[in-house]
Amino acid sequence: MENIPYEKIRATLFAHKKTLFITGLCTVLIAGNGQSAFAALPQEKKITLNVRNITVKDAIETVKKQSGYSFFIDTKEVQLHKQISVNLTGKSISEALDIIFSDQPVKYEIKGRHVIVTGKDVLVPRENMAKDVRISGVVKDELGEPVSGANVVVKGQVLGTITDMDGRYSLNVPAKSVLVVTFIG
């Protein structure tokens, strides 16, 4: 039987405690955010903006001020400096955004008091899509010990997983993807 140094046991236990704490904290924050979002919905403010030749950016700023919503915008997809004319009187935020983005290839999603604006999904023919491959492995630290709770994600995407207690992961990814491994601890 191999003797395991006390420091390794202590470091492993500390990492597990930290992972549990972070998981619990995230759960509390997500639950709290959801409750405040539902509480705010009935008091939605109406948007009024009647202007000619205003930039999309300025129109969004006005909507932001009148509604109290925060915006997260993919600036590669949205033409912020495009001139538009809008006639909004007593419109909901959804109606206002439909008008502001009417001739742009974007979509938006309202989550609580946040608006996320991204490019519209483009359908790619199946034959042009990269084939998915199954990648699996073990994440280890400098001492060669497995790292549990490490994030393994495809670079530039939201596709990912978390390593198990033995540091193992398995993930279906597009061919030639780059994996990024992160761990807080």
> Mean pLDDT across the stretch 34-61?
75
> Mean pLDDT across the stretch 81-104?
91
User: How far apart are the C-alpha atoms of 60 and 52, rounded to whole Å?
Assistant: 14
Specify whether the CB–CB gap between 70 and 40 falls below 8 A. Answer: no
Helix (H) or strand (E) holding 37: helix 6-40
Helix (H) or strand (E) holding 64: helix 56-67
Task: Tell me the torsion sign for CA atoms 102, 107, 108, 109.
Answer: positive
The residue ranking higher by pLDDT, 21 or 118, is 118
**Res 38 pLDDT > 90:** no
- Each residue's pLDDT tens digit, 141-174: 989 999 999 999 998 888 889 999 999 999 999 8
List the structure tokens of 31.
């639950």
**Res 128 pLDDT > 80:** no
pTM over 0.75: no
The pLDDT value given to residue 55: 92
The pLDDT value given to residue 13: 63
Quick one: what percent of the chain has pLDDT higher than 70? 75
How many alpha carbons fall within 13 Å on the CB side of residue 162?
8
**Res 21 pLDDT > 80:** no
The pLDDT value given to residue 27: 73
> Mean pLDDT across the stretch 4-13?
65
Domains and CATH numbers, the chain: 44-119 (3.55.50.30), 126-182 (no CATH)
The pLDDT value given to residue 100: 92
> Mean pLDDT across the stretch 48-58?
92
